A and B are shown apart, each in its own frame.
Chain A
Amino acid sequence: MTQVAEPEAKRWVGGGILRKEDPELLTGQGRYVDDIALPGMLWLSFVRSPVAHATIANLDTAAAKELPGVLAVFTGQELAEEWAAAMPCAWPIGNRIMPEEPTSDARTPDHWPVAKDRVRFMGEIVAVVVADSREHAADAIEAVEVDYDELPVVTDMLDALEDGSQVIHDSLGSNEAYTWGMSNGDVDRVFAEAPVVVKARYYHPRLIPNAIEPRGVVVQPIPAQGEFTLWSATQIPHILKVLLALTLNINEAKIRVVAPDVGGGFGSKLNVYAEECIALALARRLGQPVKWTEERSEGYLATIHGRDVIQDMEVAATEEGKTLGFRVKLYADFGAYLQLVTPGIPILGAWLYHGVYQGQAYAFEATGVFTNKTPTDAYRGAGRPEATYAVERIMDALARRVGKDPAEVREMNFIPPFTEATEVLCGLSFDSGNYQATLDKAKRLAGYDDVRREQQANDGRRDGKLLGIGLSTYIEMCGLAPSQVLSALKYGAGGWEAATIRCHPTGKVTVITGTSPHGQGHVTTWAQITADALGVDPDDVDVLHGDTAVSALGMDSYGSRSASVGGEALVRAAEKIRAKVRTIAAHELEVAEEDLEWKDGKFQVRGAPDRAKTVPEVALTAWTAHALPAEVEPGLEATAVFDPPNFTFPSGAHICVVEVDPDTGSTRIDKYVAVDDCGTPINPMIIDGQVMGGVAQGIAEALYEEALYDENGTLLTGNMSTYRIPSAAELPGYVLDREVTPSTTNKLGVKGIGEAGTIASPPAVMNAVADALRFVGVDFIDKPASAEKVWRVVQEAKGQAPAERTPEGGGTGAASMTPEEEGGVA
Chain B
Amino acid sequence: MRRIALTVNGVRREAEVEPRLLLVYFLRETLGLTGTNVGCDTSSCGACTVMMDGKSVKSCTVLAVQADGAEITTIEGLASDGQLHPLQESFRKNHGLQCGFCTPGMIMAGLGLIESGAGMEEEEVRLGLEGNLCRCTGYQNIVKAIQEAAGEMRQAAPAAAPQPAAVQGGSE
User: Which residues of A line the B interface, CB within 8 A?
Assistant: 18-19, 21-23, 25-32, 34-35, 37, 134-135, 210-214, 261-264, 266, 293, 295-297, 518-521, 685-686, 688-689, 692-697, 719-721, 725, 727-729, 731, 733-734, 757
Q: Is the CB of B129 within 8 A of A729?
A: yes
Name the interface residues of B124-172: CB closer than 8 Å to any CB of A. 125-127, 129-143
Query: Is B15 an interface position by the 8 A CB rule?
Result: no
> What CA separation (Å) do A211 and B33 show in the bound complex?
22
Sample of 14 more A-B contacts, CB < 8 Å, known A28-B35, A297-B42, A692-B141: A23-B84, A23-B92, A25-B103, A27-B76, A27-B79, A32-B37, A134-B29, A261-B101, A688-B95, A689-B98, A693-B98, A695-B138, A728-B125, A728-B142
> What CA separation (Å) do A521 and B33 show in the bound complex?
25
Q: Is the CB of B101 within 8 A of A263?
A: yes
Name the interface residues of B28-69: CB closer than 8 Å to any CB of A. 28-29, 33-42, 44-45, 47
Q: Is the CB of B130 within 8 A of A26?
A: no
Q: Is the CB of B95 within 8 A of A19?
A: yes
**A contact residues around B142 at 8 Å (CB):** 728
Q: Is the CB of B35 within 8 A of A721?
A: no
> What CA separation (Å) do A353 and B101 show in the bound complex?
36
> What CA separation (Å) do A543 and B138 show in the bound complex?
26
> What CA separation (Å) do A695 and B139 show in the bound complex?
11
**B contact residues around A686 at 8 Å (CB):** 95
> What CA separation (Å) do A518 and B97 show in the bound complex?
11
List 27 interface pairs A-B (beta carbons < 8 Å), by A numbering.
A18-B95, A21-B100, A22-B92, A26-B107, A27-B84, A28-B34, A28-B36, A32-B34, A32-B101, A35-B28, A35-B34, A211-B99, A212-B101, A263-B37, A296-B41, A521-B98, A689-B136, A692-B140, A693-B136, A693-B138, A696-B137, A720-B40, A720-B45, A728-B130, A731-B139, A733-B140, A757-B138
**A contact residues around B41 at 8 Å (CB):** 295-297, 719
Tell me which of A27, A212, A727 contacts B39 (CB under 8 A): A212
> What CA separation (Å) do A319 and B128 show in the bound complex?
52
Interface centre among B40, B75, B131, B142 (most CB of A within 10 A): B40
**B contact residues around A297 at 8 Å (CB):** 41-42
Q: Which residue of B lies closest to A263 (CB)?
A: B101
Mark interface residues in B84-98 (1 if CB within 8 Å of A CB, else 0).
100010011101011
**B contact residues around A688 at 8 Å (CB):** 95
> What CA separation (Å) do A731 and B142 show in the bound complex?
12
Q: A19-B92, A25-B97, A212-B47 are in contact. Are A266 and B135 (CB under 8 A)?
A: yes
Q: Tell me the smallest distance from the CB of B28 to a CB of chain A, in Å.
A: 8
> What CA separation (Å) do A214 and B42 show in the bound complex?
13
Q: Tell me the smallest distance from the CB of B3 to a CB of chain A, in Å.
A: 19
Q: A29-B35, A692-B140, A719-B40 are in contact. Are A727 and B129 (CB under 8 A)?
A: yes
**A contact residues around B101 at 8 Å (CB):** 30, 32, 211-213, 261, 263-264
> What CA separation (Å) do A398 and B74 show in the bound complex?
55
Tell me which of A28, A520, A694, A734 contacts B75 (CB under 8 A): A28
Q: Which residue of B lies closest to A698 (CB)?
A: B138
Q: Which residue of A lies closest to B103 (CB)?
A: A25
Q: A26-B103, A263-B101, A725-B133 are in contact. Are A37 and B29 (CB under 8 A)?
A: yes
**A contact residues around B134 at 8 Å (CB):** 212, 728
> What CA separation (Å) do A799 and B18 show in the bound complex?
59
> What CA separation (Å) do A263 and B133 show in the bound complex?
13
> What CA separation (Å) do A696 and B137 show in the bound complex?
8
**B contact residues around A689 at 8 Å (CB):** 95, 98, 136-137, 141
State the majority secondary structure of interface residues on B.
loop
Query: Is B112 an interface position by the 8 A CB rule?
Result: no
Q: Is the CB of A519 within 8 A of B35?
A: no
**B contact residues around A729 at 8 Å (CB):** 126-127, 129-130
Q: Which residue of A lies closest to B79 (CB)?
A: A27
Query: Is B14 an interface position by the 8 A CB rule?
Result: no
Give the top 7 A-B pairs by smallest Cβ distance, nearest first: A28-B35, A263-B101, A25-B100, A519-B99, A696-B138, A720-B44, A692-B138
Q: Which residue of B lies closest to A266 (CB)?
A: B135
Query: Is B104 an interface position by the 8 A CB rule?
Result: yes
> What CA separation (Å) do A32 and B101 show in the bound complex?
8
> What CA separation (Å) do A164 and B84 show in the bound complex?
65
> What CA separation (Å) do A22 and B107 show in the bound complex?
13
**B contact residues around A23 at 8 Å (CB):** 84, 92
**A contact residues around B16 at 8 Å (CB):** none
**A contact residues around B122 at 8 Å (CB):** 733
Q: Is the CB of B39 within 8 A of A721?
A: no
Q: A520-B98, A692-B138, A697-B135 are in contact. Are A728 and B126 (CB under 8 A)?
A: yes
Q: Is the CB of A26 within 8 A of B91?
A: yes
Q: Is the CB of B127 within 8 A of A261?
A: no
> What CA separation (Å) do A727 and B132 show in the bound complex?
7
Q: Tell me the smallest distance from the CB of A137 to a CB of chain B, in Å.
A: 14
Q: Tell me the smallest distance from the CB of B26 to a CB of chain A, in Å.
A: 13
**B contact residues around A21 at 8 Å (CB):** 100
Interface centre among B39, B88, B102, B130 (most CB of A within 10 A): B39
Q: Is the CB of B135 within 8 A of A518?
A: no
Tell me which of B28, B39, B99, B132 contacts A518 (CB under 8 A): B99
**A contact residues around B33 at 8 Å (CB):** 28
> What CA separation (Å) do A34 and B101 show in the bound complex?
11
Query: Is B78 an interface position by the 8 A CB rule?
Result: yes
Q: Tell me the smallest distance from the CB of B38 to a CB of chain A, in Å.
A: 7
> What CA separation (Å) do A214 and B37 show in the bound complex?
10
> What CA separation (Å) do A293 and B29 show in the bound complex?
13
Q: Is the CB of A296 within 8 A of B133?
A: no
Q: Which residue of B lies closest to A22 (CB)?
A: B92
Q: Which residue of A lies closest to B97 (CB)?
A: A25
Q: Tell me the smallest distance from the CB of A803 to a CB of chain B, in Å.
A: 44
> What CA separation (Å) do A521 and B137 show in the bound complex?
12
> What CA separation (Å) do A340 and B12 show in the bound complex?
49
Q: Tell me the smallest distance from the CB of A470 to a CB of chain B, in Å.
A: 18
